[in-house]
Amino acid sequence: MNKARREKIERRKALEAWSREVRKRDEGKCQMCGSVKFIQAHHIIPKELPDTRLDIENGLSICCGCHKYNRKRSPHKNALYFSAWLMRHKPVQYNYLIWKINEQLWNEQQAKEKQDSGKEDLRQAY
């Protein structure tokens, strides 16, 4: 098995462990409607962003209906409603995630400024 394949398997196992921990923390209940059927772990900040991919606070247990099919509550169909719901019902988790997003934005800004200052130094050298 090649290195890329092993890394992909390791990432999948880490995400599966993350999902189990999120559902365990939420006692196997949908945090939006209380259902105990077809519970899924939802990444609030997309899992494509590595800083919060495996952060348990970035997860919420949601039933399949609320997760993907409910036009009003689904984080995928109505992100603004979901954000407001999270702020009202899970304020500690919401504030933590806002802090994490701001931290990421700050780091991106610092990297951009550093890169831009390097370009300016090159311009001044010529």
Range of the domain at 42: 3-125
pLDDT of residue 32: 97
pLDDT of residue 58: 97
Q: What is the pLDDT of residues 52-95, one digit of tens each?
A: 999 999 999 999 999 999 999 999 999 999 999 999 999 999 99
pLDDT of residue 61: 98
Q: What is the pLDDT of residues 24-47, one digit of tens each?
A: 999 999 999 999 999 999 999 999
| Rg over CA atoms, the chain | 19
pTM for this one? 0.84
If you count them, how many residues does the chain have?
126
Residue/partner pairs of 34-42 with CB below 8 Å, 24 or more apart: 35/63, 35/65, 35/66, 37/63, 37/64, 38/63, 38/64, 38/65, 39/63, 39/64, 40/64, 40/67, 42/67, 42/75
Banded pLDDT at 123 (limits 50, 70, 90): low
How many domains does one find in the chain? Answer: 1
The maximal CA–CA distance of the chain, rounded, in angstroms, is 67
Banded pLDDT at 116 (limits 50, 70, 90): confident
Banded pLDDT at 100 (limits 50, 70, 90): very high
Q: What is the DSSP letter of 103?
A: H
Tell me: pLDDT of 122 over 90.
no
pLDDT of residue 121: 60
pLDDT of residue 5: 92
